[in-house]
Amino acid sequence: MRKDKLLMTPGPTVIPPRVLEVMSRQIIHHRTAEFEAAFYEVEENLKYVFQTGNPVLILASSGTGAMEAAIANFFSPGDRVLVVSIGAFGDRFAEIAKAFSLNVEKLSFEWGQAADAERIKEVLDSDVKHEIKAVIITHNETSTGVTNDIEAVAKLTRDTDRLLIVDAVSSMGGLDLKTDLWGVDVVVTGSQKCLMAPPGLAFVSVSEKAWKAYENSTLPKFYWDLKKYKRGLLKELSENPPYTPAISLIMGQAEALRMIKEEGLEKVYERHKKLALATQAGVKALGLELFAREDVSSYIITAVKGPAGIDMGQLVKTMNIKYDIMITGGQKHLKGKIFRIGHCGYVDIFDVVKTFSALEKVLLELGYDMDLGVSVEAVQRSYFG
């Protein structure tokens, strides 16, 4: 007997059965009252999760598509932007900006560290001609398991004419992100992480300040033209959304957002935090070290330094093939050096217990010296104690 894979990964994450059930129903047409009701419900609940009164635009694409939209809509070739990178996804945002001929100043921090707002301030202060039009930063860097302090960065941009663009693909709906209160202009995310739906939908919120920048943008756009989505939403166009939406995914996302609303955002954040702390406790009980600096270690995904002599590829593979639990290895130069346990979306404490129970067994099989049960006990004590 084998159970479904338990995805302790940073996306896709496990889809709640309620969501799967909705997606198993016969499709409805998108130009109907029934779909319209679901669409606007998703819109309202996205605003709740984004903590914004701004429209949240719904795209049929993966998160990277929404990152591209965040570039194509607010800039023109040659515009100078500051991209802050603490890992692979920060690097990707810089690559996208470069592909669109922006003049990219990149401020990189060592993988495993968070961005230092003081350093960002220095760069902005030294930009005396005020050429930098935006700061672009990742909220939660999945590749390193580190969360950036967006509130601190927002303080540097909110009362200026610079935009703050945040990649919240892996954090939205798991980590507190006060879009309006902090003054974040553009926030992008995807459906397949904390939002508990399958991949294929991306969401972008846009502030008034960003809409002003939109008016000056000359980069070519059609599918990503966010104003069309906004006008559709506001019923200023004959059709909303402007292009055929990913109907089944939107119906599934509607159900997943209902679940988030039922639990309540504060409790969702608290659950993610407690699961992360339990995971950290488990890691330590195994005698292993966090890859990230502990005070910035993510509540979405925990990156762990691989113990000496243990093959990370083998560890991840055995967890998957033998015990049907998916964790992930490192990306880029961290390949073979770390493993990562995701604990976001439809995850509870017993999923973490199960993961450590299997992890102990696999580590023992691979020759790591430890006592069976130590990490599971630590996980339980952290969460229930």
Q: Is 225 in the site for a copy of itself (CB under 8 A)?
A: yes
Instruction: Choose, by CB under 8 A, the member of 123, 124, 152, 219 that binds a copy of itself.
Output: 219
2 binds a copy of itself (CB under 8 A): no
* Shorter beta-carbon distance to a copy of itself: residue 12 or 112: 12
Matching residue, tokens 């292009």: 243
Smallest Cα–Cα separation from 90: which of 267, 331, 320?
A: 331
**Is 259:265 a contact under the CB 8 Å cutoff?**
no
Interface with a copy of itself includes 108 (CB under 8 A)? no
326 binds a copy of itself, rule: CB under 8 A: yes
CB 229 within 8 A of CB 221: no
Could you tell me which stretch among 61-69, 114-122, 271-279, 287-295 binds a copy of itself (CB under 8 A)? Answer: 61-69
Chain Cα centroid distance, residue 103: 25
- We find the least distance from the C-beta atom of residue 275 to a copy of itself, in angstroms, to be 19
* Of the residues 55, 145, 232, 245, which one makes contact with a copy of itself according to CB under 8 A: 245
* Separation of alpha carbons 197 and 129, rounded Å: 44
Compute the distance between CA of residue 92 and CA of residue 142 in angstroms, rounded to an integer. 12
d(CA 30, CA 244): 7
Q: Using the rule CB under 8 A, which residue among 47, 48, 64, 160 binds a copy of itself?
A: 64
Find the part of the chain contacting a copy of itself (CB under 8 A) among 67-75, 268-276, 290-298, 360-368: 67-75
What's the min distance (Å) between Cβ of 287 and a copy of itself? 28
Instruction: Please pick, from the candidates 122, 130, 181, 244, the single residue that binds a copy of itself as defined by CB under 8 A.
Output: 244
Contacts 24+ apart (CB under 8 A), 98-103: 100/68, 100/71, 100/72, 100/75, 100/219, 101/77, 102/71, 102/75, 102/77, 102/78, 103/78, 103/79
Backbone angles phi, psi at 107, to 5 degrees: -115, 105
- Residues within the interface to a copy of itself (CB under 8 A): 4-5, 7, 9, 11-12, 14-15, 20-21, 23-32, 60-65, 67-68, 72, 95-96, 99-101, 190, 192, 198-200, 219-223, 225, 243-249, 320, 326, 328
